[in-house]
Amino acid sequence: MIVGFLYLGLLATTVNAANVADLVGTWTTKSRTVETGPGFYDPINDKLIEPDLPGISYSFTADGHYEEAYYRALANPTDPSCPKGIMQWQHGTFTMSSDGALELSPIEKDGRQLESDPCSSSLGTYTRYNQTERFNSFKVSIDPYHNIQRLDLHYFDDSPMHPMYLAYRPPQMLPPGSLESVTKNGKRKRDVGSQTESVFRMANLIKREDLVNPDRWLWLGVLMTALGGITVFYS
């Protein structure tokens, strides 16, 4: 009986370790234009770099570090023709419980958010961003259509995130420690201000005259399918 319990405990530990190993890497949604690392956030110049298309990316390491990058459209219920654009970046550490749930704890002062609402202002809002996250479960499998590794995450309420696909292993990430001390030319990074002149190309697409061209309506469809703060279908 004791041997049986020991075997079951060892098996559980082995499965747990295998799950963490499967999670390691950089994952991105199907637009494949949003990836964690220096191509999304430049800590030297304290700047978020706009990708070509909306999407989500997460990276995980075997020793419990993670990084995430979001670029998405937010629906505007009062004016559907005027969506917002938002970029978010943060990193930190993660833990996995015995039931496979993931708890992501960001480094509080490192996270950044840039929000653009071109119908209200020509200026974007650049702030710190800090959001602890919980995923009730995850699954790594081979996607039958793309024939590559696929990561499915489920939020705290069991709703699914858009699937992500393996882009890099080992992961593409910025250094895992705090980036607050990163300097340029002997000076500290610029402070996070309340506004910036940056206005997203994505959020401005809806205002472009060439949207009357039927070939451009695809962009309109992408923007209009934003689901309450979750990334658009095109992710």
| Locus of tokens 């770099």 | 49
Instruction: pLDDT band for 232, please (50, 70, 90 cuts).
Output: very low
Q: What is the pLDDT of residue 119?
A: 77
Of the candidates 31, 79, 5, the one whose C-alpha atom is nearest the C-alpha of residue 218 is: 31
Q: What is the pLDDT of residue 184?
A: 52
Higher pLDDT, 224 or 96: 96
Per-residue pLDDT tens for 188-208? 444 454 445 445 555 444 333
- Helix, strand, coil percent values for the chain (each to nearest 5): 20, 35, 45
Structure tokens given for 16 = 């747990």
What pTM did the predictor assign? 0.73
Of the candidates 104, 46, 94, 40, the one whose C-alpha atom is nearest the C-alpha of residue 72 is: 40
Structure tokens given for 146 = 């793309």
Structure tokens given for 30 = 């199907």
Burial of 102 (0-12, 13-18, 19+ CB in 10 A): buried
d(CA 141, CA 164): 11
Q: What is the pLDDT of residue 56?
A: 97
Structure tokens given for 20 = 């963490």
Whether 122 shows a pLDDT value over 80: the answer reads no
Please name the amino acid found at residue 62: A
Q: What is the pLDDT of residue 81?
A: 75
Q: What is the pLDDT of residue 35?
A: 97
The residues, ordered by sequence, that sit 6+ positions from 13 with a Cβ below 8 Å of its Cβ are none
Give the least confident one: 41-50, 66-75, 80-89, 161-170. Answer: 80-89
Higher pLDDT, 15 or 40: 40
Alpha helices, DSSP H, located in the chain? 2-23, 201-204, 217-224
Instruction: pLDDT band for 226, please (50, 70, 90 cuts).
Output: very low
Whether 235 shows a pLDDT value over 90: the answer reads no
Average pLDDT over residues 174-200: 61
Per-residue b/e over 48-63, b at no fewer than 16 CB within 10 Å? bebbebbbbbbbbbee
The residues, ordered by sequence, that sit 6+ positions from 1 with a Cβ below 8 Å of its Cβ are none
